[in-house]
Amino acid sequence: MSVAYVRLQQPLLRGRRRPRVALVGHRGIGKSTIFQAASSTSVTHERLAGVGPSYEECMVEVGLDQISLVDLPSIESFHHLEEPNRVVLKYLLWGDRWPAIARHESQQPEAAFRAPDVLILVVDATALERDLELASELALLGRPLVIALNRMDEAREKGLTINVRGLFEQLGVPVLPTVAHMGVGLTQLFAAALAAARENTCPLPQPPSPHIAKSLEALNALLARPEIEEAFCMPRPLLLMQLAENDDYFFEQYGEHFPELLPQLKAARAAAEATLPRPLAEEIHADRHHRAAIFYENVTRLARRDDSRRWSGFLDDLFLHPRWGLIGSMAVFALVLYVVFEVAAGLDALTSARLAAWSLEWHPASTVGVVAHAVVDALIGLVGIVVPYMIPLVVLLVTLEESGIMHRVAFVVDRGFHHIGLHGGVAVPFLIGLGCNVPALSAVASTSTGRDRMLASLLITFVPCSARSAIILALGGKYLGGLGVFAIFMLTLVVIALMGNLLARRLPSAGPGLIPEIPPYAMPKLSAVIANTWERTSDIVTIVTPLLIGGSIVLALLSHVGADGAINTLLTPVTSWWLGLPVVLGVPILFGVLRKELSLLMIYQALGTQDIVPLMSPVQIVTFLLFLTFYVPCLSTFAVMMKTLGRRAALFSVALSVGAALAISGAVRLPLELLAR
């Protein structure tokens, strides 16, 4: 077996070492969209110095590293700073540790906020010239900077080509093309931000034109005093530009703290302005605008629309578009349902159904025969899980993953899963759970860790697998009608959402955000599909089979020695008193932990007929279906959960599912009985 070695970046940026990365930029260019795509389910909201709009912050995992990601309010320019922009600039410069010039202000920082270590400037690829001015201003901060060249899809639609390499060479900062609302390029963007934090690479200096720089020499020399640098605690080039532009805030603070030097400052400004054709502030602003225009002309050109990407662009519109992307996700969901209820049902009829029919005709009398029959029943149940439901569904979803489609579905549903404390990456296991909870739990174990693994695993046990769905469709479809079946499935979704919110509050603090990876489309390779399918289904052979056989033997021996009556009597408080069901349904409920379809067959056997309406009312049928829907899926699920989460968590899952089944079915039964009177 070949072993691949990956060289780790050192030191790992985690815990106290993790850098604070701030998203900055103009309003409405996708800054918050990037934050939402990467954010965790737990986001803090704070105001800057108690005034103005709030910023958002959360921890995000980037490979083995971590960052504290901050979405700052928009900032338009450093030119003629208005109050909202001024507050943002203060936090970019000082965080919550304001220097001497700002400590006297009435509005002081209310929350701990370390100044950002790295800035990600989100720019609009369709209006790049305006954003390049802000980039040259941010360069004066002397802090690592990364540019997210957003809306690249719209730029291509307009035939606009941007030389990313040329932009990097002119600004001296990494430039990463992104399409924020589709999650494209975000993995590379945050990797570049981490690299900038490690290397502490700052933008190339963006000094003013030579004639302006010469006029500012006297003013620059005046600001070189140590006491001024200590009082303002900001890069001198930035302070020089703000005072040269006669910025109200910095000019006022300079006058209050250094009144004896104020005449020299005014004289130096007047001398500089005398050498220029326009007022100094206008000249600096015009010079910055001119250099941004030159940058823009050097790196952009109009070209013909690239038709080579039309098919991938069409697929991205189908799966990633903020308005239409849900259509692609629903199409995948519909395909999964088709495989579960059509393809799998056909395979089930050809395999396990025939074997089960043969098994029902075998009625051994001896103990050895009963044990052999139990082993056969367990193996038939295993075949019924693996052949029709598990393998086709897992192969389908693995194929969609290898093609890059499932990553896009996960991105689209990510915000929805945040409401139950999870990320969109668990969408695949939840879809697998519609076929069988066993491979779904294995998929969760391989794609998540810690709290996310625990929460997703507990919720997946409430996803109605094909076996439970078959009972709902068989009994509900026949006696309750389509509306009744639809109501049961909708109730399942509501319960999963409510249970997710409840468990998310009870479990430890929310996990970090995850950077969505949107890989290019690819043709799935057969070898990769087979290998990944085996990885997700191998637990059925190594773990589930022995437990399934053992459980089947135990229950068969109980029946063989005549314990049916005792079992029904013991379960009377549940079946008759709480659920209002016939006492004889205790054994079918108990045997349902082997495989839910057995419950349906044993109901007919216990009642002595397949026409159960004379013996069970519609209210009893609803109650019974709800109980079977939410209570322990099967021994196979319990076995895999023991492996992935441990015995304690597996037992908690059993207690949770039994408690939820009793509570929900009992709560629904009471009002239905009142309405039926």
pLDDT at 2 > cutoff 70: no
> Token match 């815990």: residue?
15
* pLDDT value of residue 502: 85
* pLDDT value of residue 305: 57
* pLDDT value of residue 598: 59
pLDDT at 416 > cutoff 60: yes
In 275-324, which ranges are continuous DSSP H helix? 280-299, 310-319
pLDDT at 475 > cutoff 90: no
Q: How confident is the model at residue 389 (pLDDT cuts 50, 70, 90)?
A: low
Lowest-confidence pick of 181-185, 355-359, 566-570, 571-575: 355-359
Looking at CATH, the fold of the domain delimited by 15-207 is given as Rossmann fold (3.40.50)
Q: What percent of the chain has pLDDT over 70?
A: 87
Tell me the mean pLDDT in the region 596-617.
Answer: 65
Q: How far apart are CA 381 and CA 368, in angstroms?
A: 20
Q: Helix 427-435 vs helix 450-460: angle between axes, to the nearest 10 degrees?
A: 30
* pLDDT value of residue 4: 45
Q: How confident is the model at residue 601 (pLDDT cuts 50, 70, 90)?
A: low
Burial 349-385 (b: 16+ CB within 10 A, else e): eebbbebbeeeeeeeeeeeeebbebbbbbbbbbbebb
* pLDDT value of residue 6: 47
Q: How confident is the model at residue 1 (pLDDT cuts 50, 70, 90)?
A: very low
* pLDDT value of residue 24: 94
Q: How confident is the model at residue 605 (pLDDT cuts 50, 70, 90)?
A: low
* pLDDT value of residue 663: 92
Which residue from 524, 416, 420, 517 is spatially nearest to 182, judged by alpha carbons? Answer: 517
* pLDDT value of residue 11: 74
Q: How far apart are CA 497 and CA 500, in angstroms?
A: 5
pLDDT at 434 > cutoff 80: no
Q: Under DSSP, is residue 542 helix (H, G, I), strand (E, B) or coil?
A: helix
Cβ neighbourhood burial of 221 (10 Å; 0-12, 13-18, 19+): exposed
The 10s digit of each residue's pLDDT in 130-144 is 899 999 999 999 899
Q: Please state, rounded to an integer, the average pLDDT across all residues of the chain.
A: 81
* pLDDT value of residue 146: 95
Q: What is the pTM assigned to this prediction?
A: 0.74
Q: How far apart are CA 635 and CA 437, in angstroms?
A: 11
Phi, psi angles (nearest 5°) of residue 434? -65, -25
pLDDT at 340 > cutoff 80: no
247 versus 274: the higher-pLDDT residue is 274
Q: From residue 380, give the alpha-carbon distance in Å to each of 358, 360, 635.
A: 10, 11, 15
Q: How confident is the model at residue 371 (pLDDT cuts 50, 70, 90)?
A: confident
The 10s digit of each residue's pLDDT in 18-72 is 899 999 999 888 898 899 888 776 788 887 766 667 788 888 888 888 899 999 9
Lowest-confidence pick of 108-112, 219-223, 546-550: 546-550
622 versus 584: the higher-pLDDT residue is 622
Tell me the mean pLDDT in the region 657-672.
Answer: 90
* pLDDT value of residue 196: 92
pLDDT at 399 > cutoff 50: yes
pLDDT at 3 > cutoff 60: no
Domain-wise residue ranges, the chain = 15-207, 210-290, 317-512+525-676
Cα Rg for the chain, rounded, in angstroms? 33
Under a CB-based contact definition with an 8 Å cutoff, are residues 94 and 119 in contact?
no
**Cα 323 from chain centroid (whole Å):** 18
The 10s digit of each residue's pLDDT in 84-121 is 888 888 889 988 888 888 887 777 777 778 889 999 99
In 5-161, which ranges are continuous DSSP H helix? 31-38, 83-94, 128-138, 152-157
> Token match 């239409």: residue?
324
Q: How far apart are CA 202 and CA 423, in angstroms?
A: 33
If you count DSSP H runs as helices and E runs as strands, how many of each does the chain have, helices first?
36, 10
Under a CB-based contact definition with an 8 Å cutoff, are residues 139 and 145 in contact?
yes
The 10s digit of each residue's pLDDT in 631-648 is 877 777 887 888 888 888
